Amino acid sequence: MFAVEPAGAEPIPATARHGHAMDLMWTWIPPNMEFATVYIGVVSVLTFDLGFWVATAALVLGAAFGSLAHGLLSSHGPRYGVPQMVVGRVAFGRWGNALPAALNTLGAGLGWFTVNSVAGAHALNGLTGMPNLLCLVLVAAVQIAVAYFGHNLVHRFGRYVMPLVTLAFLASSVVVLSKAHLTGGASTTGSFSGFMLAFSAAFGYAAGWNPFAADYTRYLPADTARPKAALCPALGVFASISLLTVVGAASATIATDQTNPTGAFTSHLPGWLSDITLLAIVAGAVAANAMNTYSGAISFVSLWPRRLPRAPVALVIGLIAFLFAWSALDNASRAYQDFLLVIAYWVSSWLAVIFTDEWLRNRNGVSQQEALRRMMDPAYEVWAGPVAMVVGAAIAVLLFSHQKQYTGIVAHAAPSIGDLTCVVAFALTAALYVALRQLPGLGPGSRYWATTSGPS
């Protein structure tokens, strides 16, 4: 557990495979049992102007779609034994895959690190009264240390903190729901625009884990049943996110001061439960960011054709991310809302390429062995992947984005439709990928169309 993981982006050999699919349930619950999850529900009511029940429908639906994708991607780990960004090479090619890998390094290693570190620091400040900066240093140090040691410690840390975070948030949820105003006319109000914003935010939060789903299943034995490898992580993500986003929406219906969101949430609780919940928020933030830093480093090393050591990369990314978190320590709420939508935008387009390519490979009878060969071939390129992703996402954002910083052409003309970017981006990118693969120079090339040993 405290030995530094030697593996980077290369395939995990059969002799190093270990673990059970059920372990993934306990891996994925703790990182979502944190205040960043709660806050999605809070903004759905306070910022998107939804009543509790409308917000609940949007949040659960968004979490469900993100969790479904997460489960499907997690099943790639036992099959190929490589991280998710390496699996993506079969659809994006070796150098085209640099686009999603770089975005994931920035999103996970810097963006999510900042979001969760700030939430954890504020919670530790509320619990101990120590200065916010000192709290941030302590939280960041533990996160970086866990990520530095790697896979086994990341899994084990999540398993150790799961009882604390689960019981604390279940107890606080009961109290918040008992005090919330869940009935009456206001509980069912809301616009389609607000619904789509809440849906996109919840989807973006759940789908934010998608680009490193296989990072945490690649050590499972190759004969692990695919349904189990998919179902356990999907349930872990869905159960934790749907519960806490709904509780966050309920907490927003209780009149209170929202200038300190973490304090506003725990102010509804008895003193002893408030302290335990603050401690759970800290533990959940550390569990989440250990995974973000670890997978941010994995994504970075997958960029290079030669093997790079993962552990020092995780250390450097963590130190840089700490500086970003420090700069956002005083005011991150507005940026958080926009960040969630941006995550939803690019991940939707990336998922469209990944799933469409897998469908095409299965239809054409490309074997699992051939797919793995393409992932590891430094000469293999499919420029249709990155081109479709960029064009599909760009058109969707240009037309349908509905953020404070930018409103798309269609969204501006018809604001009642809300933010449809992630839905349009997925459909448009999938169609573009199918079409572009047929063009000379953009597809995988004739020598890769042949099958080798039956369907995967």
The pLDDT profile of the chain, 456 residues, written as one tens digit per residue, is 778 888 888 899 999 999 999 989 889 999 999 888 999 999 999 889 999 999 999 999 999 999 999 999 999 999 999 999 999 999 999 899 999 999 999 988 888 998 889 889 988 998 999 999 999 999 999 999 999 999 999 999 988 999 999 999 999 999 999 999 888 777 888 899 999 999 999 999 999 999 999 999 999 999 999 999 999 999 999 999 999 999 999 999 886 665 566 777 888 888 899 999 999 999 999 999 999 999 999 999 988 767 788 999 999 999 999 998 998 887 656 667 778 888 999 999 999 999 999 999 999 888 889 999 999 888 888 999 999 999 999 999 999 998 877 899 999 999 888 889 999 999 999 999 999 988 887 877 655 554 444 433
Which distant-in-sequence residues (6+ apart) come within 8 Å of 205 by Cβ?
A: 36, 37, 40, 62, 63, 66, 241, 245, 340, 343
The whole-angstrom separation of Cα 97 and Cα 320 is: 23
The whole-angstrom separation of Cα 100 and Cα 97 is: 6
The whole-angstrom separation of Cα 86 and Cα 354 is: 12
Which of 321, 318, 311 shows the shortest CA–CA distance to 151? 311
Contact 38, 268 (CB under 8 A): no
pTM above 0.75, yes or no: yes
Q: Give the pair of three-digit tokens for residue 415.
A: 């604001």
Q: What share of the chain is helix, strand, coil (3-state, %, to 5)?
A: 70, 0, 25
Which pLDDT value is given to residue 386?
Answer: 96
Which distant-in-sequence residues (6+ apart) come within 8 Å of 442 by Cβ?
A: 382, 383, 384, 387, 436
Q: Supply angle C-alpha 332, 338, 344, rounded to 5.
A: 130
Contact 58, 203 (CB under 8 A): no
Half-sphere exposure of 125 (CA within 13 A, CB side): 19
Contact 280, 168 (CB under 8 A): yes
**What burial class does residue 106 get, using C-beta atoms within 10 Å of its C-beta: 0-12 exposed, 13-18 middle, 19+ buried?**
middle
